[in-house]
Structures are given as C-alpha cells and as structure tokens.
Chains A and B, each alone.
Chain A
C-alpha cells in the first residue's frame, strides 16, 4: 500500500481546489439549514455559522499539515502513524463514510424532488441514472470530476442573484437585538450547521493529486471562506425575510424564498431552482464516489472502475429500501454525527496525536 506516485497529467491545478471546496460544501443542506440552526440560536444563528467558519479554517489548516507531513493522503498519514493494519481499517471506515455520504445526497435530493416536483418519482430509476452518470464521470479520472466541481460551482452561481428578490420584503430588524442567546446555544447551532458545512475534508483524499499542493492552500481557504460568507448572508436574508413563527414551519427555507422570484417569462422559479440542484449535487456525488472507489482500490487492489460500479450498486440497493420521510430524517442524524465526529473531532485529534508521535519518533 505504498503511496503511489501520481503522473503529472492526472494532477489538477492548485486553483481548482477553490471550486472543489465550494462545490463539496454546498450540497443538500443549504436548501433548509436556516430553520435547523434557528431552532437553537434563533435570529442569532448567523453568528454560529461564523463561529463554525473559523473552526473550519483551523481544521483545514490541520488537514494540510497532516498531508504535508507525509506528502500523501490521509491513508498514508495513518500508515505513517499507526502502521499498515490500522490504515487498512481506516480505509474501509472511510469507504463506508463516503458511501453513507453519497446516500445522504441521493436520498435527500429524491425527497426534495418528491416534495417539490414529482411526488411519484421512482427512487430506483432516478438513482440508477444519476449514478450511471457519476460512474461515467469518475471513469474520466479526477480531472473530469474536478471539472464537474468547476461547472457545478460556476453555472449555478447565477442563483445567488435570485435571492435579491426577497430583499424587497426583508425586515432586518428581525435580527435585533444581536447576541441575545447564550454562547452554548450558539455552539449547539454551530454543531447542527456542521453537516451543511462539511465536504472540505475531500482535501485529505485529493491532496496527492494536486499540482504544487502548497499553492492550493490559499485557494482552499478562500473557498471555505466564500462558502461561510455565503451561508451567513443567506441565513441573514432568511431570518429577515421570514418571521420567527414562519421560519419554524419552513423546512426548505431556501426553496421557499424562491417563491418570491418572478420573471416575465418564469412564474414559479423554485422548479428551476430544484432542477439546478442536479448540477450542484453532481460534484458531491461524483467526488464521493471517486474517493470511495479509490480508497477501496488502495485497501483491496480492486480496480477503481470495478470499485465504482460496486459502490454504486450497493448505493442503489440501499436507496430502494428507504421509505419516505422518517427514515431519511433518522439517516441524516446519523450522517450528521458521523461527519461531525470525523471532520471536527477526529481530524484535530489525529493532528495532536501526530505531533506527539513525531516527537516520540524523533527521540
């Protein structure tokens, strides 16, 4: 399981990490995170996003430090710190992590489609087609996957402007008084924001594929900061647009805000918005699939092509077993705990551990 050297023509330019960060962070959570964080910190919840944002920067910095230490991905880090056996166990754990991650995207997206567009859309057919597309992209290598990240960020970027339609009806006094809630409440909101904000941990896996990874650091931080600012602004818009009572009853606040959008040729914009999520979710699914299949290859020598098909097949089977609503809610809670534990607890721990082990190894 030596960390293989990646040929230069498969590597990506450092600036593309910016798009990877944004497209991986923005997923399904953005459609309705406002209500969830407002449950804990009310109109102050936007501060929680900023708090989390600062923490994300610290974690990202640690991730880079870890990868730089071994000049490889997180599996190499594990191998370096704990030996081969543990690193294999870790690979399998990460494969499972990314399969659940992938599932959460597909399941939630299907739910959104069922609620907003097609009540009877077929889980099976949709997930099969979507994953076939993902496999096609993964077969093109990381460059193609990152290309999808790029277009998944650039093309739907126009949606940002559609939120200005709500400004007409926004009442910014909703935000006052600032900092009314306890700090623990804010932290609780931050915790529940975590699922919406994760995704940047992909850097742990694509690190060896970045050309001159040192240069990509700047872009990664800019990307993460952009998402944080975007989330904060969107939360502020939502808090000022919806009254407190209204927000409590709005599961998909972002989608509901689109109901205000009106063009002379488009009446109900949320349809276009939901359809656009196809393009926004695609990078998440593709990169997850890519990471999972690559880890599987590193752990078992199964070819990445076959691994991608295997993982997709497993995902499709699981998706068909899910029922609407309650199941997905519970599943999301699991994913939330898992991703929080991995990104915001395990990675810092690993970093501290690495410092200690490095010292011990030196002496």
Chain B
C-alpha cells in the first residue's frame, strides 16, 4: 500500500483532495446513490478488502436509500450501527478508511464526513494450544485477532477492575497493542513502566509479539527472554490475578506476561492442574533435565580431555572402550554430535509435520547408529547428547528451550579450555549474567535472590493452592493477599 503520509505535505487540504491518492489502489471503491425521499446524492467510499460488504448491503445502504436522509447528522438516527462518527477534518479520512470504516459523503454537506464502521473480521476459529499443550485443563488457545483474545480473557475474569488500554505501535503496521492489568492489585509503577516503554517504541512494523518482547526487554542483548509469552488464556487470567501485566499484540497468538522471573519459564501451567506432589515431582524432573542437558556434554569433554581421574575405574573402562577407535578429540566429537542434533531440530522445524517426522527417524536412527559404526563418535556420547537434547525439550516455554540449547556451547568451549574448572567458570558467568538481568526493573532471579522464602511456594515446588494465599512479594502488589487463608483452610478437629 502506498504510504499516505504524503497527506501531511499539504498544508491546506481541499475537501476533495483526499481522493487523489486513494484512487491509486484498485480495491478502493467509490459509488454514488440517490436517497429515495430527498433525492440527495450521497457517496460511499471504502476499501473493498477491508470492509464487510454484508454490513453495507444489509444495514447501511437500505437505510440510507429508503429513509429520510437530509444531513450527515441523520446517520446516527437511521443507520442501525452503533459505531458512527461525523468528522470535519479531512486528515482523519485516511486513517478511518484504513481501519475499515465506510466514508459517507453528502453533496449538500461537503465540509463534513460521516463514517460507518464495517470492519471485516477475518478470524480463525479457536484451536488447541500447540506449544503449551496440556493433557488436563482448558484446551483453547489464543488466535491472531486482538478482539477475540480480549474476549477470551474477559470471559475468565468478568470484573470491571480488569483494565485494558490500547496503543498503536509501528509507523507503517499501526499494530494495536493492549496492556491489561487489574486495577487495585497490580503495582502501578509496573503498569506505568510498560505503558511508557510501549509509547516510546519507535519502529515501522511489528510482525509479532516477539518484536515487542525485544523492544520492551531491559536487556535485549541477553540470551534469556525477559518477558514470558503464552498461548493459554487460562494462564493469562491466572497471572493477571497474581498481579502481573499482560500485553496483547494484534496479529499475534502469543500474549506477553511481565514482569517475569527465571523460575517461571520452567513451570508448565499444567502443574496447577495436577496434584501438588505430582506437580512438584515433575518440576524437579524438569529442573534436573535442564541442568543435565546443559552440563552433560561439557562434563564429558572435560573428563575425557583433562580430568579423566574424576571418573571411577569401572565407568572409565566403558568410556575408554567406546572411545578406543575414535580418531577425533572429545571436543570435536561432542561438537559434531551436538551440531547434528541441532541440524535435525532445525530441519524438522522448517519442514511440514509429516516430512519432519521422517527426518527425525532418519536422523535419529540412521545418522546416530551410522556415525557410531563408522567410528566417528562413541556410543556413550551419543546417549548423552540424545538425552541432553531430550532434556532441553522439557522446558515448557519454547523460547527458554532455545536458550538452553544455545547455552551448552559456551560451556563446551570452556570445558575444552580448562576442564571442570572451565565449566565452573562458565557457570559463574551465567550466574553473574542472571543476577544482572531484570524484567521491568524487577530482579530476574527472584525469589532466590533476593531471597523471599514466602515466594518459594511456587518455584522448585508447587505448594497446594490454599497455601499460596499471598501474591508474590517481588511484584509489590497493592493487595498482597489473594484470599483469606483461614476461611480457605477451614480446619476441623478429629471429632467434628
């Protein structure tokens, strides 16, 4: 589409000038009709691709043709559509037309313009969450349309305190961005920070909420995502109630959550639907998987290159036997396999699902066994690398999974430099980096540092729902308590 900001060049726009540029698009239509009662000529101007013609034909046009239509003010009275504006400034025309309004002009009233809302909403139907799938729990996921997403959230939080404020971001894309919070719970500073940062965004197009993540992050050079994105309306409703802020971006099926902490990226929302002991167990498994996934190949490299004394004799025997015929040093062997896994993942992600599956089988079985048989890699390392890859896929948030996968490469390099010492050194770097990270100015490592024992109820463990009667301290909410603890527990004595 032609950028219409050329409008601004005209200091005074004559009332008919607005047409000259619009006419260049073939989907822009102008038609003229005569009112049956007054015989006034009026014009309909709209982008055929943006408006719903059914609305025009069934509601707007019959009314304007048959009922008495003398001045533009009559629009409010005779057209059965609520969203009608009458404006004087020709500069507003462009924006309204592009937002899916129909411009109504009246020959006898050339200084004013009437607008009738007739947006065509192309929405896809709700589908199941694909990234954050859960066996138990709600099965609806967000879609691309902002209105529908808001509807999904409002249905779960039918309270007037749920405030949504809309902004337009992007000079060309004019993307709608809505900031949601619950008045009276959410910390005001946090809300203001988000709003201020959204207002300050200077960019031409926004393609997805991921763009907003990058632009809102405290440190956009970090490997770690600092805003959580989710496709689950239930999760968004829950975090809003917790006192956080949700950001909906039009055209993106992922809603952003801020501020977040590192721990949150490892908690699946399904945890809250399971028994708390089971959920805690799963969480611990997940944490172990992540640590294992990052460290296992580096430790292999460290032990095989420098500190083989670390490994007990029996285990060392197995390792040495498996490595006996391998011509490559451990680091190359590890890099070879790790990169193979990354290749498989990347190929699988870029291909259609069915072909992707085939690639997975070909890669996993054929390349794996073949490289071991060819003597390029040891089968022990193959097990480690495969397990490590599996571990990295257990992170419930996709973006964090990517981070975890990249994270092992610096560890590998340091392991090659200084063995176990290098791994620990790299770990120190990681901790230092995480300590410096903030999400909307709130510490990213909370509640571990700064330590808040009360907030630990929803971290490595998932405490019973009734024990989590306080909102996280780190959010500094206006109402620290969620519900009355005593009422919820309702203790009964043995003989009652």
From A16, A121, A267, A275, B420 is in contact (CB under 8 Å) with A275
Q: Within the assembled complex, what's the spacing in Å between the Cα atoms of A129 and B315?
A: 33
Tell me if A150 and B449 are in contact (CB < 8 A): yes
| A356 at interface by CB-CB < 8 Å | no
From A129, A136, A275, B423 is in contact (CB under 8 Å) with A275
B436-495 residues with Cβ-Cβ distance < 8 A to A are 436, 445, 449-451
Tell me if A121 and B310 are in contact (CB < 8 A): no
Give the distance to chain A from B383, nearest Cβ to Cβ, in Å: 15
For chain A, give the interface size range.
20 to 34
In the complex, chain B residues whose CB is within 8 Å of the CB of A276: 424
| A13 at interface by CB-CB < 8 Å | yes
Tell me if B445 and A267 are in contact (CB < 8 A): no
From B306, B421, B451, A278 is in contact (CB under 8 Å) with B421
| A175 at interface by CB-CB < 8 Å | no
Q: Interface readout for A82-117 with B: 1 if CB under 8 Å, 0 if not?
A: 000000000000000000000000000000010001
In this complex, what residue of B is CB-closest to A268?
B309
Scoring A137, A274, A275 by chain B CB atoms within 10 A of each residue's CB, the highest score goes to A275
| A140 at interface by CB-CB < 8 Å | yes
In the complex, chain A residues whose CB is within 8 Å of the CB of B451: 15, 150
For chain B, give the interface size range.
20 to 34
Q: Within the assembled complex, what's the spacing in Å between the Cα atoms of A267 and B445?
A: 33
Give the distance to chain B from A84, nearest Cβ to Cβ, in Å: 35
Tell me if B450 and A144 are in contact (CB < 8 A): no
Give the distance to chain A from B29, nearest Cβ to Cβ, in Å: 57
| B291 at interface by CB-CB < 8 Å | no
Q: Within the assembled complex, what's the spacing in Å between the Cα atoms of A267 and B311?
A: 5
Q: Interface readout for B413-438 with A: 1 if CB under 8 Å, 0 if not?
A: 00000111101110111011101100
Tell me if B425 and A129 are in contact (CB < 8 A): yes
Given known contacts A265-B315, A275-B420, is B310 in contact with A148 (CB within 8 Å)? no
Tell me if B428 and A282 are in contact (CB < 8 A): yes
Given known contacts A278-B424, A279-B427, is B310 in contact with A137 (CB within 8 Å)? no
In this complex, what residue of B is CB-closest to A126?
B418
A287-310 residues with Cβ-Cβ distance < 8 A to B are none
Q: Within the assembled complex, what's the spacing in Å between the Cα atoms of A252 and B392?
A: 39
| A133 at interface by CB-CB < 8 Å | yes
| A151 at interface by CB-CB < 8 Å | yes
In the complex, chain B residues whose CB is within 8 Å of the CB of A268: 307, 309-310
In this complex, what residue of A is CB-closest to B313?
A267
In the complex, chain B residues whose CB is within 8 Å of the CB of A271: 307, 309-310, 419-420
| B312 at interface by CB-CB < 8 Å | yes
| A178 at interface by CB-CB < 8 Å | no
Given known contacts A13-B450, A278-B424, is B310 in contact with A133 (CB within 8 Å)? no
Tell me if A136 and B421 are in contact (CB < 8 A): no
Give the distance to chain A from B176, nearest Cβ to Cβ, in Å: 33
| A325 at interface by CB-CB < 8 Å | no
Kindly list the 4 A-B residue pairs having the minimum CB-CB distance in the complex, ordered from nearest.
A147-B435, A140-B436, A275-B424, A278-B424
The 10 sampled A-B contact pairs (Cβ below 8 Å) are: A117-B307, A117-B421, A118-B306, A133-B432, A147-B435, A147-B445, A150-B451, A267-B313, A275-B424, A278-B425
Residue positions of B touching A, CB distance < 8 A: 306-307, 309-313, 315-316, 418-421, 423-425, 427-429, 431-433, 435-436, 445, 449-451
Known A121-B418, A267-B316, A278-B425; further 20 A-B contacts with Cβ < 8 A: A15-B451, A130-B425, A136-B432, A136-B436, A137-B432, A137-B435, A140-B436, A147-B435, A148-B431, A150-B451, A266-B310, A267-B309, A267-B312, A268-B310, A271-B310, A272-B310, A275-B420, A278-B427, A279-B427, A279-B428
